[in-house]
């Protein structure tokens, strides 16, 4: 009972840190990798949709994969985390206005916040869904390294950002993604295959 309570608290803390990091990204019009980056780009393209609903909807196709490959418990925790981050981002955007003077500073802050949020979420057996689940499933099913899948998809996302926003946005966004990956690699080690969603943001 105590371990479940602590796990729930860790999920809440991790979701809040990740949501706050995403708000910093949006404040400087930066993007990230995975489904977070796709949702941020889509948010900038479609005025009638905001980040929260987009992030939740983009992750929907990956829930089935997570359930088939990683189990029902993982699916429920991931769905909870994705939904909570979606809501928290919308609430923070409605209540908090951030004006970061330098995009580089925003990239560093967001990378640190999202990374440590992900560490807490992953250690509690959840994830933020997305392309990292696809990478893990491809690795388990066909032996394609998950890291290569994630790298390839992140490159596509950054290429789209380059076409839409220019090289400065991509440069600072790459700082965020790199810092996030370094922190995750240092502070999170999957205990076994079924518990690992990824070492990058969704």
Which pLDDT tens digits describe the chain residue by residue (202 residues)?
Answer: 777 788 889 999 999 999 999 999 998 989 998 889 999 999 988 888 899 999 999 998 888 777 777 778 888 888 999 999 999 999 999 998 888 888 999 999 999 999 999 889 888 888 887 777 777 677 677 777 666 777 788 888 888 889 888 898 899 999 998 888 888 778 766 554 444 444 344 5
Q: How many CA atoms lie within 13 A of 97 on its CB side?
A: 0
Asked if residue 26 lies in contact with residue 165, where contact means CB atoms within 8 angstroms, the answer is: no
* CA–CA gap between residue 126 and residue 159 (Å, rounded): 29
Asked if residue 150 lies in contact with residue 132, where contact means CB atoms within 8 angstroms, the answer is: yes
Q: State the pTM of this model.
A: 0.84
Asked if residue 62 lies in contact with residue 153, where contact means CB atoms within 8 angstroms, the answer is: no
Cα Rg for the chain, rounded, in angstroms?
Answer: 16
Helix (H) or strand (E) segment spanning residue 160: helix 146-165
């Amino acid at each position: 009972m105590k371990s479940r309570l602590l796990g729930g608290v860790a999920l809440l803390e991790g979701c809040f840190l990740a949501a706050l990091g995403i708000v910093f990204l949006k404040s400087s019009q930066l993007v990230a990798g995975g489904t977070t980056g796709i949702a941020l780009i889509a948010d900038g393209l479609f005025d009638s949709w905001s980040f929260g609903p987009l992030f939740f909807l983009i992750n929907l196709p990956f829930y089935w994969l997570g359930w088939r490959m990683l189990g029902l418990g993982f699916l429920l925790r991931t769905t909870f985390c994705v939904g909570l981050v979606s809501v928290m981002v919308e609430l923070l955007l409605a209540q908090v206005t951030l004006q970061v003077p330098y995009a580089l500073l925003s990239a560093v802050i967001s990378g640190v916040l999202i990374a440590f949020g992900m560490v807490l979420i992953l250690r509690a057996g959840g994830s933020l869904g997305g392309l990292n689940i696809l990478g893990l499933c491809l690795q388990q099913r066909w032996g394609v390294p998950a890291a290569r899948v994630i790298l390839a998809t992140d490159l596509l996302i950054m290429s789209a950002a380059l076409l839409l926003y220019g090289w400065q946005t991509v440069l600072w966004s790459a700082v965020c993604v790199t810092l996030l990956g370094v922190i995750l690699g240092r502070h999170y080690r999957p205990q076994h295959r079924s518990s690992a969603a990824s070492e990058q943001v969704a």
